Amino acid sequence: MRLPLLLALLASPVMAGDLAFVTSQNGNALSVVDLATGDVTAEVVIPDAPAPVAYDATSGRVHVIAANTGRLHVLDKAGRPLLQADLGEGAFGIATGPDGALYVADWFGARLMRLDRDLQTLWQVTTGPAPAGVAVSADGALVATADRDADAVGIFDAATGDLLHHVATAGPHPFGITFHDGLIWTADVMGDRVSVIDPVAGRLVGQIPTRSHPYAVAFAAGRGFVTNQYDGSVTVFDADSHAVLATVAVGDYPEGISPLPDGSAVAVANWDSDTLSILDASDLTVTMTVDLPSGPRAFGVFTGPP
């Protein structure tokens, strides 16, 4: 295990015991990070390029997909293996629902799957081509996919898999996707913008400019945070007015971003810097930087309480 490089310990916005589960695609590793101290408490070898991740705090389970094979690894929060399933080479986007259900998008197969806790398939449905990110509404009623090559978002009934809407995004190639305050937000990689979609009405209701190649979106302290891959930065905007508030430099090629449980900060995985940055949601300063194995990507919700 490598010791993390801590650029700051004082004034950390995190509560003691908060955790980050960061996948390093090049390093074939999952790192468990204590966000109170920056210590890497476990480093687990996961072969074949782990990238997508979803932490379910209710069950204490971490779900990781190896991008090269589509093998799903389920671990406990200490990094101990629990279950595995081979979902096919295209399995990529992943999210958990409040009822413990697991949703996985198949990039090559253009489908969305719902799995139970034993990793048995409950249903699978067709999506647009190249579904990337997956997100579940707070009440668990809806699940949405960012269909990259369709330049659209698919919105489904989470219980049945029925398609409710397929909505064009403001920019091409939506990738990261999240629900917040009853709306869907996508990072449109080739459009340098965030799309805002009403999932009930099934229509685009707003768009927000970003820097180059936005990847994923997270929310904290009433603000939205977008990682800009090619700019080494995070765009910050007001969640209500959609006004851009700031652009904050982080590490090189930031991708995964996830809010801390108390909403005080966001965690950012920087692919080319091999670091995790903790960005304070209020004063917009980077309060901690942690060294990680090569190519941290952490695509999904990867933070939570212990």
Query: Would you state the pLDDT for residue 17?
Result: 77
How many whole angstroms separate alpha carbon 301 and alpha carbon 218?
A: 9
Contact call for residues 223 and 241 (beta carbons, < 8 A): no
Contact call for residues 64 and 55 (beta carbons, < 8 A): no
Query: Would you state the pLDDT for residue 20?
Result: 98
- Output the CA–CA distances (angstroms, integers) from residue 135 to 94, 282, 300, in the order listed: 8, 25, 9
Q: Which helix (H) or strand (E) holds 126?
A: strand 121-126
Radius of gyration for the chain, computed over Cα atoms and rounded to the nearest angstrom: 17
- pLDDT per residue of the chain (306 residues) written in tens, 0 to 9: 333 333 333 333 444 479 999 999 999 999 999 999 999 999 999 999 999 999 999 999 999 999 999 999 999 999 999 999 999 999 999 999 999 999 999 999 999 999 999 999 999 999 999 999 999 999 999 999 999 999 999 999 999 999 999 999 999 999 999 999 999 999 999 999 999 999 999 999 999 999 999 999 999 999 999 999 999 999 999 999 999 999 999 999 999 999 999 999 999 999 999 999 999 999 999 999 999 999 999 999 999 999
- DSSP symbol at 299: B
How many whole angstroms separate alpha carbon 151 and alpha carbon 173?
A: 5
How many whole angstroms separate alpha carbon 79 and alpha carbon 84?
A: 13
- Domains, in order of start, for the chain: 19-304 (2.130.10.10)
Burial class (CB in 10 A: 0-12, 13-18, 19+), 60: middle
Query: Would you state the pLDDT for residue 6?
Result: 32
